[in-house]
Structure 1
Amino acid sequence: MIRDLIKELSSIECVGSPFISLYFNLSINSRGRKNYKHFIKKKSSEIEESLKGDKRAYESFKNDLEKIERYLDFEIGSETLGVAIFACHEEGIFKTLQIPAPFNNQMTVSSFPQLSQLASKMKQGETVAVVVGDTNSVRIFFMVFGKEVEQEFLEREDVDEVRMKRFSSRVSEAGGKGFTYGGYSKKVDAYEESLIKAFVKDVSEHLDRWRRDKRYKHLILMGNENFIILLDKALHQKVKQMLIGSRRIEPFSSDLLILESAEEIYHSFLERSRKEIQKILVEENLSDGLAVVGVEPTIVALTKGQVDALVLSSDLNRQSIRCSKCAFITAAGEPKTCPLCGSDVVRSDLKEAMISSASRMNGDIWVVEATDELKRYGGVGALLRFR
C-alpha cells in the first residue's frame, strides 16, 4: 500500500507548477478537537502569499486547495487518524492515503512530492497474516496498522465424521461383552492423525499461495501449542522466512485480543529489525562487504543503482541538490546543471532526495531512530546489491 504509493510518487519528475504534499493528524487534541483545518487555513494563507507573483502557480494552488477541502469534508473514513494528499492541478495529479495512524501536520509546496513521512510509516503499513487455530479450524487475519483488513476461514470438512467414528468405538468398547475393540480405536486414532496432517498441509498450501499472490509480507502463528508446532514444520521454506513470531493463545479468542497480541508481536519485531539492520550495515561496511555508510558514499551508491536497502535516521536534516530528471544528488557544492544528463537542478531536502532515488530502483527503505554507531556516520547508509 504505502510502498506502492511511494514508488508511484517517486517516479514523478520535477514539475514547473506547485506540487502540494499534505500530511494531517486527525487525532483528537487535548481540547477534544481535530485541529487540522486550522492548520490548513494558516499554512495555505502563507503559501498563497508567496505565490501571488506567479499567477499560474497561484491559480493551480487554489484549484488544488478547493479539491483538498472537498476531499477532507466528504471522503474521510471513521477510523482514519492520518491523511496524506499529493496534488498538482497543472499535471492532473491527486493522490490520497488514509491510515489508522497519525502523521505529523505538514503542508509543503515544492518541485517534488515530499515522501519522508510516508517512508516512516512504510514498515508499519506492511500486511501481516495472523494464523489462529487448532487442528480442526483456523482463522487467518490480514492485518495492517494493527487493524484487520481481511479474514479467511479454513476448516476440516471431516471433523464430524471422525467424531462419529470415535463415538462409535467408545460405545463398542463399553458394551463389548468381553471383546476388545482397542484395535478399532487405534485405527480411528491413526485415521484422525492422517486427517490432521492433511489439514495442516492444506493450511500451509493456502499460505504459500497467498504469499505468491503477495497478500502478506509477514506471518504470525497463534493457537494451541500442538497446532503451532505442526504448522511450523509444514510451512514452505519461503513462507517460513516470513514468520516473525508465534504465541500460544486460545483458538477461539476474540478478534480484539488476537489483533492486540499480533500488533505487540509485530511492534517488537520492527524494533529488533531496525536495530539489527543498523548493526549489519556498520559491520558490512567495516569488512568491505555489501554496505556503505555516510552521506557521500550512500549518494554514490544511489547514483550507481547499487542500493538494496536505504537506512536513514529519522532526524536527518540536511539540504542537497538533485537533478530534475535523473538520479543525480549531491550534498556538496552547487552545480548549475546536472553533470550526468545536463538537466536543470533544484534544491531538495537530502532525506527526500534519497528516499525518492531508492524507491525508483525498488530499494527497501528504513527510517530509524539511529544508534550511536550509525550517528557517527551521519545517520545514513545502505545495504548494496553489488559492489
Structure 2
Amino acid sequence: MQTTQELFDKLASFEPGDAYVLSIYLDMSPHMSGKRPWTRTSTPVLRNRIREIEKTLLPRHPMLDSFNKDVEKVQSYMENHVEPWQQGVAIFACHERGLFETLEVGTAFQNQIAFEPYPDLFQLAHLLDKHETVITALVDTNTTRLFVTRWGFLEEIPGPEVLPRGYGKRNATCLNQARYHRRVENKRKAFAREAASAIEDLVKQEDAQRVILAGDAVAIPLLHEELSNTVEPLVHEEVLRLDINTPLREVHDEIKPVIEYLEREASHSQVDNLVEGIRANGLVVSGIQETLDALEHGQADVLILANDVPLDDQQRNTLVRKAANSGARVEVVESNPVLQELGGVGAQLRYRPQWV
C-alpha cells in the first residue's frame, strides 16, 4: 500500500497530455445542525459540481466520454468504500491515462472539485505539511502505552509488557528500607530503559517528526534520562498529565491541540526565517514570479505558501507541482499577515540564483 507521500510524488509527476484530471477533495464530517444533522455536506457539493463541469462538455466535447467514466468510478467508490468514521476523502481520476487514486484521512478537507490539465495538489501538500507523524508515550513507572498519529487518525501500538508490581508494602517488611528503595528505583530505571527503547524503535519505524510524553511526575524524568540524543530533540517540552488508563478517545482529544500548536509554531518559524532572510539579503525570495523562477531552476529548498489569499487555486497548484518535481519541501502557513504582504508565497533557497 502506497504512502501519502508516494501518492503525492506520483501525482506531481503525472503527465496527462491532452487529457484532463478530475481532482476531488471532500469534507466527510457530518453537518450537525438543521433537519438532517448527520448529513454530509459534501454530497450535494460533489453532485452540483459534477453537473456544472458536465455542462461545459456538452453536447459532444472530446473529453465528455472520459469524464463520464471518471464520474461513474467516483460514484461507485463513494457508495461502496467510504466509511462513516472518515473525515476526509481525496480522489484523482483520469480515465484516458488509467489514473484512479483515492485517499481517506481522519481530518476534513475543504470541499473542492476541479477538472484541469493536472491533478490539484495543494490540499494534499497541506496535509503532508500539517499532519506530521507524531508518537505519544503515556507512561507510569511500570506501564507504557504508545500511540501513533497519522493523517488525523490515532492508533494505539502495543508497548513493553507491564512489569509486575512486586515492590509493595509486603516486600518492604522483608528488606531493610535502603535496600527496598534501591530495588524500587532500579526496577523503575530498568522499565524506563525499556520504554525509551520502544519509543525509539517506533520513531524510527514511523519516521516520526514529533514525540509527546504524558504520564506521572515520577516516570517522565526517568524516561528523559534514557532517551537518546537522536530522539530527545523531538520531544515536546510540555508533559501531559494523563492517567495510564485514559481511554483512546480522550488521549486523542488531549494531544490534538498540542499537535496543532506545534504545526503553527513550525509554520510561523518558517515565515520568520523568510523575513530575516529578506532583510539580510540572504538565501530567500518572495513573490510569485521570483519563487516560480527559483523552482524552475531547482534552487528552492522550501516553498512557503499562504493557505488563503492572495494566490488563486491554479497558481498555488502550479507552485506545489513544481516544488514536488524539484525536490523542494512545501510549508503551508495559516493566516499570517506578513506572508500575505509578501504576496502569499516565498522560498528558502539552496544557493543564490545566478540571475540575481
> TM-score if structure 1 supplies the norm length?
0.81
Residue 379 of structure 1: CA displacement? Answer: 1.4
Instruction: Indicate which of 270, 280, 290 corresponds to 2:273.
Output: 280
- Counterpart secondary structure, 2:23: strand
**Aligned: 1:366 with 2:300:** no
What residue in structure 1 maps to residue 30 of structure 2?
A: 28
Instruction: Give the distance between the partners of 2:69 and 2:224, measured in 1 at CA.
Output: 55
How many angstroms does 1:265 deviate by? 1.1
- Counterparts of 1:145-164 in structure 2, within 5 Å, are 145-157=151-163, 159-160=164-165, 162-163=166-167
Instruction: Report the AA paired with residue 28 of structure 1.
Output: P
Partner of 1:175: none
Report the equivalent of 1:341.
none
Q: Secondary structure at the match of 1:77?
A: coil
Cα deviations across residues 67-94 of structure 1 (Å, max 9, x unaligned)?
1000000100121122110000111111
**CA–CA distance in structure 1, aligned partners of residues 59 and 311 of structure 2:** 28
Cα distance between partner residues in 2 of 1:125 and 1:99: 10
User: Distance between the aligned counterparts of 2:152 and 2:94, measured in 1?
Assistant: 32
CA contact (8 A) 2:144 2:162 kept: no
The alpha-carbon deviation at position 55 of structure 1 amounts to 4.8
Q: Secondary structure in 2 aligned to 1:367? A: strand
1:368 deviates by 1.6
Q: Give the alignment of 1:169-248 within 5 angstroms.
A: 169-170=172-173, 172=174, 182=176, 185-244=177-236, 245-248=238-241
Match in the other structure for 2:83: 77
1:65 correspondence with 2:71? yes
Letter in 1 for 2:241: R
For 2:167 and 2:188, the matched residues in 1 are separated by 13
**% identity of equivalent residues:** 27
Moved more, 78-87 or 282-291: 282-291
Pairs within 5 Å for 1:237-316: 237-244=229-236, 245-316=238-309
**SS of aligned partner of 1:237:** coil
Matched, 1:117 2:123: yes
Describe the superposition over 1:338-387 as per-residue Cα deviations: whole angstroms up to 9, x where unpaired. Answer: xxxxxxxxxx8111011112222343222223433222211111123333
Distance 2:239 2:301 in 1: 28
The question of whether the paired residues in 2 share the 8 Å contact of 1:370 and 1:379 is answered with no
2:351 is the counterpart of 1:386 = yes
Please, which of 3, 21, 24 is the counterpart of residue 5 of structure 2? 3
Matched, 1:355 2:316: no
Q: Distance in 2 between matches of 1:297 and 1:50?
A: 34
Q: Is the 8 A contact 2:146 2:199 kept in 1?
A: no
Amino acid paired to 1:62:
N
Report the Cα distance in structure 2 between the residues aligned to 1:383 and 1:237, rounded to whole angstroms.
27
TM-score, normalization by structure 2: 0.88
- Tell which structure's C-alpha radius of gyration is larger: 1
Q: Does structure 2 conserve the Cα–Cα contact (< 8 Å) formed by 1:135 and 1:227?
A: yes
Q: How far did residue 45 of structure 1 move?
A: 2.3
Q: Deviations over 1:294-328 (max 9, x none)?
A: 22332222122222221111124447xxxxxxxxx
Compared CA separation, residues 112 and 248, structure 1 to 2 (3 A): same
Aligned-pair distance for 1:42? 2.3
In 2, distance between residues paired with 1:2 and 1:285?
Answer: 33
> C-alpha deviations, 1:6-28, integer Å up to 9, x for none?
22211112432121001122233
Q: How much has 1:255 moved relative to structure 2?
A: 2.2
More off after superposition, 15-24 vs 353-362: 353-362
**For each residue in 1:5-56, what CA deviation from the matched residue of structure 2 results, as whole angstroms up to 9, or x when unmatched?**
2222111124321210011222333332324333233222222232236654
Structure 2 unaligned blocks of 5 or more: none
- Structure 2: which amino acid aligns with 1:237? N
Give the Cα–Cα distance (whole angstroms) in 2 for the partners of residues 163 and 318 of structure 1: 63
Which residue number corresponds to residue 134 of structure 2?
A: 128
| RMSD, aligned CA | 2.3
Amino acid at match of 2:240: R
- Which segment drifts farther, 129-138 or 144-153? 144-153
Contact 2:107 2:152 in 1 (8 A): no
Distance 2:135 2:301 in 1: 25
From the two aligned structures, give the one with the greater strand fraction. Answer: 1
- The more displaced of 38-47 and 132-141 is 38-47
- Give 1:156 shift: 4.7
Separation in 2, partners of 1:207, 1:54: 59
Q: Which residue matches 2:146?
A: 140
